[in-house]
Every structure is written in structure tokens, then in C-alpha cells.
Structure 1
Amino acid sequence: MTSFEQQIQRLEIIVKTLDRGDEPIAVLLELYEEGMGLACKCREYLETAEQRVTLINQENG
């Protein structure tokens, strides 16, 4: 399993590659799909972290 930081790093690489647009369309489509999946996983991770922080604050508050 990759860490959140590794997923963000991979997502940054994908975005740069997509922005360049110098790969074949098939490759760009695969990268886009991978990027969307990573973005979803990162969003879920951040939502979970936010929920944990809220819970901690409520318990200690």
C-alpha cells in the first residue's frame, strides 16, 4: 500500500504529463483514469483524517 504522500506525488506527475500532452491519446486516457482514482483515494483519506481530528477535539474539548 502506498502512502498518502506517495499518492499525491504520483498524482502530480500524472497532472504534469497530462498538461504536456505529448503522449499518445491512449496513454493520456490511462493516466487520466489513474489520476481520477488517486484523487478519489486522497479525498477519502483527507475526509477520514478530518473526522478523526473532529472526534479528538470533541473528546478533549
Structure 2
Amino acid sequence: MNVESQDLSLLVKGANAMSKEKQIIQLHLQGFSQRRIADSIKVSRNTIAKVLSAFEHH
């Protein structure tokens, strides 16, 4: 596991109380790709795209 993967794992584990939507936005703002976010929090890339689209339109 590389450093970026370890960082992402720690962020996801540390955000257990946070909603998936907030996790998605936080990880996106930190520069993680949609694919990496989807894989790390076990949601589809389509879900990631929908959440980010809604976030960007607010």
C-alpha cells in the first residue's frame, strides 16, 4: 500500500460518523479521484459523480 492509499484509508476510517456525501466532497476537495473515492467508501462512481455535481451546483 503506498502513502496515498494509506492516507485515504485513514481519512475514510476517521470519518465514520460523517455522511457518505460529506466524505465524498471532503475527499474530492483533497484531490482524490472519483474512482479512488468510490473504491474506498464502497459506492459506485456514478454516485460519486451525482454527489459532486449537486455540490458544484450549490
Q: Same fold judged by TM-score > 0.5? A: no
Higher relative contact order (CA 8 A, sep 6+): 1
Query: Is the helix fraction higher in 1 or 2?
Result: 1
From the CA coordinates, give the structure whose radius of gyration is larger: 1
TM-score (norm 1): 0.34
TM-score (norm 2): 0.35
